[in-house]
């Protein structure tokens, strides 16, 4: 077998160049494919973060601390409370002299506007029972989730004499009450309920009575149809009744 000539070697080298160029092109395409895949992952990740922010539930304002009705937080326990049990007195006493003019009191954020009954105590008949109407006001808070709900109610006596009270609420259709704390309840037509205090019948001046009840509800938005204390409209915590 004779050795190849120079011309034959050159022809063989030229025939191998296209496959080499194709290999180089293939290697050049790989970074482009990887870059496109990385960009797709980044876009998908950004979309997931955006969806997470959109679906985040709003923060619920709870009736406690400075925003609590009459200074009684919903975690302070049921029953009758002295004024503002959530405020703790500091053991240190200030040595600064008191100013002549007291600073105006500001309503804390989230504090509802309280509707107070007549300051003159007048007896009325409710179901054959004489009820003493003093300066009474009531605030309620609703916490609803899935097919359940909780309602907390504050009844406050801002008058100078003890007062009897009863609170009447009307629930939406197909709503039930399964438990009550610190109050007696009595059912009436059209899903109306009357609550009276479980601890004593008279609310002392300056005191607040806190009770609660819970139950099941239909799906969708939930709100009390009505709420009154001795015939005076209640105030919804965080908004109008």
Work out whether strand 136-145 and strand 235-236 pair parallel, antiparallel, or are unpaired. Answer: parallel
Work out whether strand 183-188 and strand 235-236 pair parallel, antiparallel, or are unpaired. Answer: unpaired
pLDDT, residue 140, reads 97
pLDDT, residue 44, reads 52
Distance of CA 183 to the CA centre of its chain: 24
One pLDDT digit (tens) per residue for the chain, 241 residues: 566 665 666 666 666 555 545 554 555 555 544 455 555 544 455 444 444 434 444 455 688 888 899 999 989 999 999 866 555 433 333 333 333 443 333 334 444 444 444 434 444 434 433 344 458 999 999 999 999 999 999 999 999 999 999 999 999 999 999 999 999 999 999 999 999 999 778 999 999 999 999 999 999 999 999 999 999 999 999 865 5
Q: Closest Cα partner for 155 from 121, 222, 204? A: 204
Query: Has domain 65-85+112-236 been given CATH number 1.10.3720.10?
Result: no
Count of CB atoms situated within 10 Å of the CB of 135? 19
DSSP 187: E
pLDDT, residue 205, reads 95
Greatest CA separation for the chain = 133
166-to-62, 66, 78, 182, 200 alpha-carbon distances in Å: 25, 27, 16, 13, 12
pLDDT, residue 161, reads 95
What the block records as the tokens of 105 is 């009191």
pLDDT, residue 127, reads 40
pLDDT, residue 238, reads 81
- Structural domain boundaries in the chain: 1-56, 65-85+112-236
Count of CB atoms situated within 10 Å of the CB of 29? 9
- For the question of whether the overall pTM of this predicted structure is more than 0.85, the answer is no
């Amino acid at each position: 077998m004779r050795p190849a000539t120079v011309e034959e070697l050159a022809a063989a080298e030229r025939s191998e160049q296209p496959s080499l160029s194709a290999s180089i092109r293939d290697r050049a395409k790989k970074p482009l494919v990887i870059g496109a895949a990385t960009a797709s992952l980044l876009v998908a990740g950004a979309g997931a973060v955006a969806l997470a922010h959109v679906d985040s539930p709003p923060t619920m304002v709870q009736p406690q601390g400075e925003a609590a009705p009459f200074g009684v937080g919903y975690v302070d326990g049921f029953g009758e409370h002295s004024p503002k049990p959530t405020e703790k007195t500091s053991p240190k006493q200030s040595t600064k002299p008191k100013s002549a003019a007291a600073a105006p009191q500001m309503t804390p954020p989230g504090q509802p506007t309280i509707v107070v009954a007549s300051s003159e105590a007048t007896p009325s008949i409710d179901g054959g029972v004489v009820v003493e109407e003093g300066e009474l006001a009531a605030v309620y808070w609703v916490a609803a989730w899935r097919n359940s709900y909780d309602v907390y109610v504050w009844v406050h006596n801002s008058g100078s004499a003890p007062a009897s009270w009863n609170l009447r609420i009307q629930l939406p259709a197909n709503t039930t009450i399964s438990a009550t704390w610190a109050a007696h309840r009595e059912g009436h037509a059209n899903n109306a309920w009357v609550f009276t205090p479980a601890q004593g019948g008279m609310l002392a001046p300056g005191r607040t009575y806190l009770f609660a009840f819970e139950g099941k509800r239909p799906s969708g938005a939930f709100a009390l149809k009505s709420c009154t204390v001795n015939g005076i409209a209640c105030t919804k915590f965080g908004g109008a009744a």
